[in-house]
Amino acid sequence: MVIWITGISGAGKSTICQAIVDRLKPFLPSLVNLDGDVVRAIFGDGLGHKEGDRVLQINRIQRLALEMEKQGLVVLVAALYAHPDLSAWNRKNFSDYLEVFLDAPLSLVEERDPKGLYAKVRAGQMQDVVGVDITWHKPTAPHIHMLATNTRTPDAMATEIIAAMKARGVLAPVPLSHD
């Protein structure tokens, strides 16, 4: 199974994936986490952030996820770019696919700005930021559509994704929350 979590930078993709890993890894040793930033670094950080580079980055993640899925692993992906062609590829090629869209308003991610991207854009020091000067293609038919807010915790969103995994038979009974 591939669980593909997408949203613009700062939406909470990596944080939610880590919450899922923290809760499920003891019960699901076959769970792996492919974070877009980590994959970029593994390949030497040689790609830029223009649209063509972003497509290549997602292609790398897709191929890695597909190979891992073929080996029986449960793959959790945190990836920013969600062009319709790339999402269609995912639906066609992954045998069991769960698409999660973290719908975060630009005002929220600018406030969070964990990487300082939005501050650099506002200062004229950076460009090629999805949702600002690169079109953000919101997923049109995600399996799960979550509104990211400051009041919704990553743990609560992880619980919703874990419940969907359970409903698909990926998990034996495991705790849904940290009670």
Segment 44-102, tens digit of pLDDT? 877 767 778 888 889 999 999 999 999 999 999 999 877 889 999 999 999 999 999 99
The proportion of the chain whose per-residue pLDDT surpasses 70, expressed as a percent, equals: 93
Report CA-CA distances (Å) from 84 to 1, 151, 172, 175: 20, 29, 33, 34
Q: Look up the domain containing 34 and give its range.
A: 2-167
Q: How many domains in the chain?
A: 1
> Is 70 a domain residue?
yes
pLDDT at 176 over 60: no
**Closest by alpha carbon to 100, among 2, 5, 1, 14?**
5
> Is 177 a domain residue?
no
Highest mean pLDDT among 39-43, 74-78, 105-109, 132-136: 74-78
CATH number of the domain residue 56 falls in: 3.40.50.300
> Is 60 a domain residue?
yes
Per-residue pLDDT tens over the stretch 5-20: 999 888 899 999 999 9
> Is 117 a domain residue?
yes
The proportion of the chain whose per-residue pLDDT surpasses 90, expressed as a percent, equals: 51
pLDDT at 41 over 90: no
